[in-house]
């Protein structure tokens, strides 16, 4: 059952999704759909977050203790799970951003853009 | 906070997977709904809600897959598959009940026996003594050159005056105490109990660092109040028994050997004194005769001292030695001026077991360690056989896509489950074994009477040692897991096509596996042979020992102890002998009654013997003999033969010419090449007696010791009012008359305590217990080892047969008879046996030398034993390979040729 991947979908770089999700949660707690929306909106629709990767990612982040979740009421009146970033999650986000920055500098260096 | 959250989250997901999954589904649903709304809104009404929803769903793709993915991440899948593996393992155990049972029993025996044995060793040897800072406690004794320039005796007890001198002069001990143990009859009501008690001084409890649980200890003033100060401290146990743990016991009066004592204290629950068995403590000064407190040559007391802070052991030893010289200067040897006494110090801990008992324990522990090794080899073998049998199954599962890690995990789970079952079963074995050992009464089993002075060891404390159990369990279970896993890793190697093919190509691997199994089996057999050799020697030695004639006939003799009651004075005691003997003789079934003061086979006190017709013996060479009081009838009752001269008669009484009987050894030792009859001799006093007769030797010491010279004195000529044992020869089972004898004695002597009533056979058995127990325990271990080795051999041969089915079929088809096949298979077993036997015998001959000092009458290289082992081994191997051989011989040729 392994390896059911859709090649047409522009997957985010592995690991980057975690960083983006954590980043969206730094402002306020959000539910899954809102997280996806936020990422799409902020990236001008370039980055599209699929449910299939979003929810496993959230599950993973919870397991690692970087986010917690609580059921609450959505504006439409339905029950929705709201995710909140934890202190450990913020630290993790900081680490990820700095290593991502380092990576960008490196890649740009290779591409002779600086 | 974060870690706690993670745990809570995981726990929720794992403990209630259904709720968790519903939540995941709900979340996905909610997402879908919002997505659909968004699409409908974006399309400005051109999209119907159904279409919008459909589009959203299309974008989501395979919902089930994502749900599964979430499940996997949350850990639910892992739990599921573990459950599957456990169920599968249990099913496979049910399919192979023999394998499962053997593995569990092997583990149970290996772990259990080791735990039990180690628990005993821990209680007897390793655990610190139950006193405060036990490593600062020292045992101090007097020393004296041995007779005939023999080794110095360094275990001589103190006399009170000598110790007072020592105590006043020393500056290396913080506190020191004198004590002596004895048996006492204690009564509160009419019922008397016989207990072991200690006479101690007021320093006793403080030196050991013991606080009474109730009441007080002894006062300094009570040390000097000779004949007074009748106060007693009870053990917790005796307090419970006598007073039902009633706190008003303090101040009550108990009767100890006819004297009233006031209870002033109760000891803490586990405290049993330096004797390890005391139930009662009393001031030494209160003892009836003062036990010679003022006599410098009454060496009755053992000394224990606590080192002062910051004093090293070597320094204290030097001080003790110097003070020993000073004590000798003040109290020179009363008989021989040139004999100089000294003093020596040993850590108390080293005094708790004598060397021989220590050696037995160490040997037994080594033996049980070998059993564990064999058990491990056996478990390894079993798992190897099982794993090779499943190579094909594993290959098939790999071929159809099972993950390697998943397969390894499943095999691992099987190993762990089986090992855990074995571990649980071994707890039962360990518990039973521990109970068995403490029931053996290691004190008598290890011949504790030989221990000089101190028997601190508290064998009632033998209980299951958790550390030992954990250790043995880890070793055995790790073996199981290791050997369950190695083949699993090997089998799951990528080159699976080889294993998938039938016999042919796979054979190379199998032969390699078979070789490692062969090695394991040979090792098992060799270890079993070592144990067989050790236990064989011990059993043969035991046989020799039991065959020793003790010099008397213990069959159909009832023995009981009694003691003077205050009513009977020393002068009227002879009348008691007559009345008691006459009354007991009238009991139906009794054929003879005699009395003696000391039971055979227990070291009785020796006394110096003086020969008035010779010049005094040279220094250190005084003759010593066991001196025994008997009634005239005693030799006849226990069948001690008269060699020459005459026995005592009722007319040898006080006032008549004093006569003694001597043993053959005494006659030979004291009057070599002369006739002993009529010779003058005095024992234990100035009066001269004359030898009237020579009787056969009786073993008063251990059976394996050469008989000592013994001298017999008649009760009627030297009345003795304490230490009386009645020997009753019976026509019927002696135990059946115990009560009648009790009643009869109560009639003639109401105040006399009667105790320790049992057949003389029992005493003999007690005296041989140390040899019997060690030989039997070792034999048990050897039997276990042999059984395990047989199982191992059986496993390997059976497996080899199943692998060679086709070959055997071909042989049968070509005309081999079933006898040929049996010979082929049994031959393979014998080859294993020969290899293991040769290695084992070589090792055994090297190792059993360490048993030499424990053996009686045989050499460690005893041919009979070695030949016997070879015979047992051959037999065992034939038995183990017979069943598979028969199965192989019964293979129908066609069936075999077609292949499995």
- B215 has pLDDT over 80: yes
Say how far apart CA B734 and CA B277 lie, in whole Å: 29
Kindly report the backbone phi and psi dihedral angles of residue B689, in degrees, each rounded to the nearest multiple of 5, phi listed first: -120, 165
DSSP B713: E
* pLDDT tens digits, A19-38: 899 999 998 899 988 898 88
Angle at B448 between CA B177 and CA B302, to 5 degrees: 15
Per the listing, tokens 């060799």 go with B526
At B660 the pLDDT is: 93
At B461 the pLDDT is: 57
> B59 contacts in A (CB within 8 Å)?
50
Quick one: what percent of chain B has pLDDT higher than 90? Answer: 18
Q: Which residue has the higher pLDDT, B483 or B772?
A: B772
Q: How confident is the model at residue B495 (pLDDT cuts 50, 70, 90)?
A: low
* pLDDT tens digits, B83-142: 888 888 888 888 878 778 888 888 888 888 888 888 878 777 777 777 888 889 998 988
The closest alpha carbon to B437, from B814, B22, B112, B57, belongs to B112
Question: How many H-runs (helices) and E-runs (strands) does chain A carry?
Answer: 4, 3
Q: Report yes or no: B402 at the A interface, CB cutoff 8 Å.
A: no
The closest alpha carbon to B379, from B523, B533, B490, belongs to B523
Query: Which of A1, A56, A74 is closest, CB to CB, to B70?
Result: A56
The closest alpha carbon to B642, from B601, B697, B689, B595, belongs to B697
Q: Are B734 and B759 in contact (CB under 8 A)?
A: yes
Could you tell me how far CA B894 lies from the centroid of its own chain?
A: 58
Q: Cα torsion for B368, B371, B373, B374, to the nearest 10°?
A: 170
Query: Which of B24, B33, B34 is closest, CB to CB, to A55?
Result: B24
Least confident of B37-46, B436-445, B693-702, B716-725: B436-445
Q: B326-340: buried (b, 16+ CB within 10 Å) or exposed (e) per residue?
A: ebbeeeebeebeebb
Q: Report yes or no: B3 at the A interface, CB cutoff 8 Å.
A: yes
Cβ atoms within 10 A of the Cβ of B265, count? 21
Structure tokens given for B231: 């106060």
Angle at B299 between CA B294 and CA B302, to 5 degrees: 105
Q: How confident is the model at residue B496 (pLDDT cuts 50, 70, 90)?
A: very low
Q: Report yes or no: A31 at the B interface, CB cutoff 8 Å.
A: yes
Q: How confident is the model at residue B724 (pLDDT cuts 50, 70, 90)?
A: confident
The closest alpha carbon to B875, from B829, B840, B828, belongs to B829
Closest chain B residue to A68, measured at CA: B5
* pLDDT mean across residues, chain B: 80
Q: Check CB contact under 8 Å for B2 and A81.
A: no
Quick one: what percent of chain B has pLDDT higher than 70? Answer: 84
Closest chain B residue to A48, measured at CA: B59
> What is the average per-residue pLDDT within B326-343?
83
Could you tell me how far CA B393 lies from the centroid of its own chain?
A: 47
DSSP B657: P
Least confident of A108-112, B81-85, B576-580, B833-837: B81-85
At B646 the pLDDT is: 94
Closest chain A C-alpha to B8 CA, distance in angstroms: 10
Say how far apart CA B120 and CA B463 lie, in whole Å: 8
- B647 has pLDDT over 90: yes
Counted residue by residue, chain A has a size of 114
Q: How confident is the model at residue B648 (pLDDT cuts 50, 70, 90)?
A: very high
Query: Which of A1, A36, A79 is closest, CB to CB, to B26?
Result: A79
Say how far apart CA B56 and CA B33 lie, in whole Å: 8
Query: Which of A31, A56, A68 is closest, CB to CB, to B69?
Result: A56
Neighbouring residues of B121: CB distance < 8 A, sequence distance ≥ 6? B361, B365
> A56 contacts in B (CB within 8 Å)?
66, 69-70, 73
Query: Which of B31, B73, B75 is closest, CB to CB, to A32?
Result: B31
Neighbouring residues of B601: CB distance < 8 A, sequence distance ≥ 6? B550, B699, B700, B701, B702, B703, B763, B764, B766, B767
* pLDDT tens digits, B58-84: 776 677 777 777 777 666 667 777 788
* Residue ranges in B337-354 assigned as alpha helix (H): none
Say how far apart CA B58 and CA A52 lie, in whole Å: 12
Query: Which of A33, A64, A68 is closest, CB to CB, to B31?
Result: A33
In chain A, which stretches have pLDDT less than 70?
1-15, 114
At B167 the pLDDT is: 92
At B458 the pLDDT is: 46
pTM over 0.90: no
Q: Are B329 and B134 in contact (CB under 8 A)?
A: no
Q: Which residue has the higher pLDDT, B282 or B483?
A: B282
Closest chain B C-alpha to A66 CA, distance in angstroms: 8
Say how far apart CA B457 and CA B485 lie, in whole Å: 45
- Long-range pairs for B85-88: beta carbons < 8 A, 24 or more residues apart: B85/B409, B85/B410, B85/B413, B85/B414, B86/B413, B86/B417, B88/B410
> B3 contacts in A (CB within 8 Å)?
65
Q: Report yes or no: A65 at the B interface, CB cutoff 8 Å.
A: yes
> A68 contacts in B (CB within 8 Å)?
5, 9
Closest chain B C-alpha to A110 CA, distance in angstroms: 36
At B661 the pLDDT is: 94
Tell me the sheet residues that pair with A81.
A71
Q: Check CB contact under 8 Å for B27 and A74.
A: no
Closest chain A C-alpha to B66 CA, distance in angstroms: 5
Q: Check CB contact under 8 Å for B62 and A32.
A: no
DSSP B158: B
The closest alpha carbon to A84, from B10, B24, B5, belongs to B5
Q: Which residue has the higher pLDDT, B482 or B514?
A: B482
Kindly report the backbone phi and psi dihedral angles of residue B264, in degrees, each rounded to the nearest multiple of 5, phi listed first: -115, -10
Q: Are B492 and B398 in contact (CB under 8 A)?
A: yes
Identity of the highest mean pLDDT range in B295-309, B433-447, B554-568: B295-309
- For residue B577, CA distances in Å to B305, B715, B716, B768 come to 44, 8, 8, 31
* pLDDT tens digits, B435-482: 777 666 555 544 443 333 334 444 445 667 777 778 777 877 777 777
Which of B21, B31, B36 is the mutation pick for testing A, counting most A CBs within 10 A? B31
Q: Report yes or no: B33 at the A interface, CB cutoff 8 Å.
A: yes
Q: What stretch of H or E contains B683?
A: strand B680-683
At A8 the pLDDT is: 37
Q: Cα torsion for B494, B499, B504, B510, to the nearest 10°?
A: 90
Q: How confident is the model at residue B312 (pLDDT cuts 50, 70, 90)?
A: very high
Q: Which residue has the higher pLDDT, B561 or B291?
A: B561
Task: Please report the residues numbered 75 through 114 in chain A whose beta carbons come closer than 8 angstroms to any beta carbon of chain B.
Answer: 76, 78-81, 86-88
Q: Are B295 and B161 in contact (CB under 8 A)?
A: yes
Query: Which of B10, B65, B74 is closest, CB to CB, to A4?
Result: B65
* pLDDT tens digits, B858-869: 888 888 888 888
Size of interface A-B (CB pairs under 8 A): 78
Q: What does the H/E/C string look like for B462-530?
A: CCCCHHHHHHHHHHHHHHHHHHHHHHHHHHCCCCHHHHHCCHHHHHHHHHHHHHHHHHHHHHHHHHHHH
Which of B69, B74, B75, B400 is the mutation pick for testing A, counting most A CBs within 10 A? B69
Closest chain A residue to B12, measured at CA: A63
Kindly report the backbone phi and psi dihedral angles of residue B297, in degrees, each rounded to the nearest multiple of 5, phi listed first: -105, 5
Least confident of B55-64, B314-323, B678-687, B833-842: B55-64
Q: Are B631 and B595 in contact (CB under 8 A)?
A: yes
At B511 the pLDDT is: 44
Cβ atoms within 10 A of the Cβ of B789, count? 32
Query: Which of B31, B60, B73 is closest, CB to CB, to A63?
Result: B73
Closest chain B C-alpha to A76 CA, distance in angstroms: 9
Q: Are B422 and B375 in contact (CB under 8 A)?
A: no
Domain residue ranges in chain A: 16-110
Kindly report the backbone phi and psi dihedral angles of residue B219, in degrees, each rounded to the nearest multiple of 5, phi listed first: -95, 155
Domain A16-110 grouped into CATH 1.10.10.10: yes
Q: B356-388: buried (b, 16+ CB within 10 Å) or exposed (e) per residue?
A: bbbbbbebbbbbbbbbbbbbbbbbbbbbbbbbb
Closest chain A residue to B73, measured at CA: A60
Q: Check CB contact under 8 Å for B23 and A81.
A: yes
Least confident of B73-82, B633-642, B715-724: B73-82
At B639 the pLDDT is: 93
> What is the average per-residue pLDDT within B176-183?
85
Angle at B358 between CA B840 and CA B432, to 5 degrees: 75
- Region of B584 please: left (phi>0), alpha (psi -120 to 50) or beta: alpha
Closest chain A residue to B24, measured at CA: A55
- B45 has pLDDT over 80: no
- B369 has pLDDT over 70: yes
Closest chain A residue to B38, measured at CA: A37
* pLDDT tens digits, B599-614: 777 666 667 788 888 8
Q: Report yes or no: A68 at the B interface, CB cutoff 8 Å.
A: yes
């Amino acid at each position: 059952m392994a390896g059911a991947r859709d090649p047409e979908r522009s997957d985010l770089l592995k690991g980057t999704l975690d960083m983006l999700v954590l980043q969206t949660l730094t402002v306020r707690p959000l539910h899954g759909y809102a997280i996806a929306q936020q990422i799409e909106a902020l990236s001008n629709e370039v980055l599209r977050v699929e449910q299939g990767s979003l929810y496993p990612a959230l599950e993973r982040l919870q397991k690692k203790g970087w986010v917690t979740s609580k059921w609450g009421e959505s504006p439409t009146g339905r029950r929705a799970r709201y995710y909140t970033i934890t202190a450990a999650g913020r630290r993790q986000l900081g680490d990820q951003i700095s290593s991502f920055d380092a990576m960008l500098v490196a890649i740009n260096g290779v591409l002779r853009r600086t | 906070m974060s870690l706690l959250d993670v745990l809570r989250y995981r726990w929720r997901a794992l403990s209630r997977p259904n709720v968790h999954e519903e939540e995941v589904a709900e979340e996905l649903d909610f997402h879908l709904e919002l997505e659909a709304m968004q699409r409908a809104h974006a399309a400005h009404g051109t999209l119907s809600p159904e279409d919008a929803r459909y589009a959203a769903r299309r974008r989501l793709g395979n919902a089930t897959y994502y749900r599964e993915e979430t499940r996997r991440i949350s850990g639910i899948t892992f739990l599921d598959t573990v459950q599957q593996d456990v169920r599968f393992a249990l099913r496979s155990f049910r399919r192979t009940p023999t394998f499962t049972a053997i593995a569990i029993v092997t583990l149970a025996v290996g772990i259990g026996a080791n735990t039990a044995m180690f628990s005993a060793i821990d209680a007897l040897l390793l655990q610190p003594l139950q006193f405060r800072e036990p490593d600062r406690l020292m045992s101090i004794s007097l020393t004296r050159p041995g007779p005939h320039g023999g080794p110095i005796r360094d275990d001589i007890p103190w006399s009170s005056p000598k110790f007072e001198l020592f105590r006043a002069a020393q500056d290396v001990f913080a506190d020191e105490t004198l004590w002596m143990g004895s048996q006492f009859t204690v009564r509160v009501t009419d019922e008397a109990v016989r207990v072991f008690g200690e006479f101690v001084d007021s320093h006793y409890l403080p030196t050991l660092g013991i606080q009474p649980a109730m009441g007080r200890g002894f006062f300094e003033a009570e040390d000097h109040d000779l004949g007074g100060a009748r106060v007693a401290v009870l053990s917790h146990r005796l307090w419970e028994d006598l007073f039902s743990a009633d706190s008003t016991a303090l101040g009550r009066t108990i009767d100890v050997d006819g004297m009233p004592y006031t209870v002033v204290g109760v000891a803490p629950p586990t405290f049993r004194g330096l004797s390890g068995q005391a139930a009662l403590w009393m001031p030494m000064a209160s003892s009836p005769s003062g036990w010679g407190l003022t006599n410098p040559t009454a060496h009755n007391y053992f000394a224990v001292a606590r080192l002062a802070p910051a004093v090293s052991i070597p320094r204290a030893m030097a001080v003790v030695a110097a003070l020993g010289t000073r004590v000798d200067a003040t109290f020179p040897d009363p008989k021989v001026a040139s004999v100089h006494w000294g003093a020596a110090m040993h850590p108390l801990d080293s005094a708790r077991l004598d060397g021989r008992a220590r050696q037995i324990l160490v040997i037994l522990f080594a033996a049980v360690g070998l059993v564990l090794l064999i058990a491990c080899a056996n478990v390894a073998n079993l798992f190897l056989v099982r794993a090779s049998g499943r190579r094909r199954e594993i290959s098939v599962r790999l071929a159809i896509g099972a993950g390697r890690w998943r397969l390894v995990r499943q095999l691992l789970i099987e190993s762990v489950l089986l090992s855990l079952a074995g571990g649980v079963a071994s707890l039962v074995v360990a518990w039973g074994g521990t109970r068995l050992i403490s029931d053996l009464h290691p004190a008598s089993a290890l011949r504790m009477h030989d221990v000089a002075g101190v028997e601190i060891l508290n064998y009632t404390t033998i209980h299951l040692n958790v550390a030992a159990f954990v250790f043995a369990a880890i070793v055995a279970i790790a073996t199981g897991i290791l050997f369950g896993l190695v083949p699993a890793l090997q089998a799951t190697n990528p080159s699976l096509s080889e294993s998938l093919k039938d016999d042919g190509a796979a054979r190379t691997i199998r032969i390699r596996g078979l070789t490692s199994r062969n090695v394991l089996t040979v090792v098992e057999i060799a270890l079993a042979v070592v144990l067989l050799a050790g236990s064989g020697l011990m059993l043969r030695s035991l046989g020799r020992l039991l065959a020793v004639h003790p010099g008397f006939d213990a069959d159909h003799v009832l023995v009981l102890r009694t003691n003077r009651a205050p009513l009977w004075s020393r002068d009227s005691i002879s009348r008691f002998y007559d009345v008691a003997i006459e009354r007991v003789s009238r009991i139906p079934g009794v054929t003879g009654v005699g009395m003696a003061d000391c039971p055979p086979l227990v070291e009785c006190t020796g006394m110096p013997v003086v020969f008035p017709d010779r010049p005094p013996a040279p220094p250190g060479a005084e003759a010593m003999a066991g001196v025994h009081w008997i009634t005239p009838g005693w030799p006849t009752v226990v069948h001690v033969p008269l060699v020459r001269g005459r026995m005592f008669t009722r007319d040898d009484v006080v006032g008549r010419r004093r006569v003694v009987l001597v043993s053959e050894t005494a006659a030979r030792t004291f009057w070599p090449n002369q006739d002993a009859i009529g010779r003058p001799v005095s024992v234990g006093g100035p009066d001269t007696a004359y030898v009237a007769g020579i009787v056969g030797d009786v073993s008063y010491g251990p059976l394996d010791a050469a008989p000592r010279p013994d001298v017999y004195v008649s009760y009627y000529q030297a009345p003795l009012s304490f230490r009386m044992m009645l020997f009753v020869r019976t026509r019927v089972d002696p135990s059946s008359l115990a009560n009648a004898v009790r009643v009869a004695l109560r009639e003639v002597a109401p105040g006399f305590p009667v105790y320790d009533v049992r057949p003389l056979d029992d005493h003999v058995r007690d005296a041989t217990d140390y040899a019997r127990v060690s030989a039997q325990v070792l034999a048990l271990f050897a039997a276990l080892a042999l059984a395990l080795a047989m199982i191992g051999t059986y496993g390997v041969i059976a497996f080899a047969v199943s692998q060679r089915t086709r070959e055997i079929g071909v042989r049968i088809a070509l005309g081999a008879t079933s006898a040929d096949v049996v010979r082929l298979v049994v031959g393979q077993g014998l080859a294993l046996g020969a290899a293991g036997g040769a290695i084992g015998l070589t090792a055994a001959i090297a190792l059993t030398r360490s048993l030499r000092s424990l053996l009686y009458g045989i050499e460690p290289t005893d041919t009979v034993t070695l030949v016997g082992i070879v015979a047992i081994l051959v037999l065992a191997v034939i038995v183990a390979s017979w069943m598979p051989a028969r199965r192989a011989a019964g293979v129908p040729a066609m069936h075999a040729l077609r292949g499995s």
